[in-house]
Amino acid sequence: MEGGGGAERRLLLGKYEMGRLLGQGTFAKVYYGKNLSSGESVAIKVINIDQVKKDGLMEQIKREISVMHLVRHPNIVELKEVMATKGKIFFVMEYVTGGELFAKIFKGKLKEDVARKYFQQLISAVDFCHSRGVSHRDLKPENLLLDEKGDLKISDFGLSALPEQLWNDGLLHTQCGTPAYVAPEILRKKGYDGSKADIWSCGVILFVLLAGFLPFQEENIMKMYIKVFHAEFKFPPWFSLEAKSLISKLLVVDSEKRLTIPAVMLLPWFKKGFIPIDLSICQSYSSSVDKFKEDEEEQEQEKSGFDLSNLFEIKRKPGSMFTSRCTASTIMANIESMVKGLRFEIVKLKEFKVKMQGNEEGRKGRLSVVAEIFEVAPEVTVVEFSKCSGDTLEYSKFCEEGARPALKDIIWTWQGENSTDAINGS
């Protein structure tokens, strides 16, 4: 066993052998591990439950698990399974051997073709996250790992956000991330669009890959903030015109004018040598995890007497997501028609995202629901509802008695009703 050093074998719930310590943080340690049945190498993140409860971080842990089950992609570190005892949570993850991308940059700037490859993989993975309603919010080279083939893997979804975290204005309001990579709208403590904030961070990362240093670098953090707020930076002389143009359009203070990921992917500079990811691979990842979640929870209750379902809200709320074969425009027209029939007010947040507000006062104020449409593949569109405010039972009634019958003509399948088979075309 790697890192065993002849010491007594440490077994994790009869499935994994745990070896040397790979790293540690405030409330978690990561160990090298090996699957006893397959011999596969894994990384096992061990979290102390008492510590995360004491620090008020349980919601963050739940969210990280929910997010990592949603975003299964070749350029994202894979969460294989989650197990628990009464005192610890175990994330069993893909073992990535190539180290941090930061270590490569520390040695100096990268050649443009190499930087482009990493940026392409980063954008591909971030685009997939956004299609699933997830924004990472802490993108930086230290959270970008490399596998044995030299391919990029995004890690650390501890600060990521799901649609449920949106306020009534349809925006996020939590300050988080690393200042040197964070978008100005987050630093200003105003509401922000998590996906647009991720795009800014991608722009900073591309600059760092090509330059070997940060665009906004000051010893005094307030001076650095001022530079970020005004997007004040200088290009080194070796940057190509195409790279300068792209970064200039990503590091734009006004998030509404910032280049979008679809626009980035159309640029000739980006398309050079780019091999798109087959989305059906990502869907098959999701189906295997969905099956695991049910089996694993039963196994863990038997082994440790610890009910994982009380700890982790891994599954989305029933009736909150459906797939359709219609276009995003057709779906939006149907939603607008439904809203009129239900006598809700509707506010457009962006092209395929709206907030619907009930007119009547409920048990917890007026019900407010966000609907967002994601085109994940040709003729496959995902529609997700998420409650912003109001009573949960009233939200369930909205989904079951309002949305379901009103949208029945465009619904392919609701989540939890063989949705994975439908997406895979089987």
Helical ranges in 188-273 per DSSP H: 194-211, 221-230, 241-250, 261-266, 268-271
Q: To 10 degrees, what angle do helices 112-131 and 194-211 make?
A: 170
Q: At 146, list the tokens.
A: 């490399």
Torsion-angle region of 244 (φ positive above 0: left; ψ -120 to 50: alpha; else: beta): alpha
> Which DSSP helix (H) or strand (E) runs through 375?
strand 365-377
CB 183 within 8 A of CB 176: no
d(CA 335, CA 196): 25
Looking only at the bridges linking them, the beta strands covering 79-84 and 380-389 are: unpaired
User: Which positions are annotated as active-site residues?
Assistant: 138
> Annotation-wise, does 45 bind a ligand?
yes
d(CA 344, CA 336): 10
Q: What is the DSSP letter of 398?
A: I
d(CA 67, CA 175): 19
CB 130 within 8 A of CB 261: yes
Q: What is the DSSP letter of 327?
A: -
C-alpha dist (Å) from residue 19 to 23, 208, 374: 12, 34, 42
- 11 forms bridges with which residues in the sheet? 17
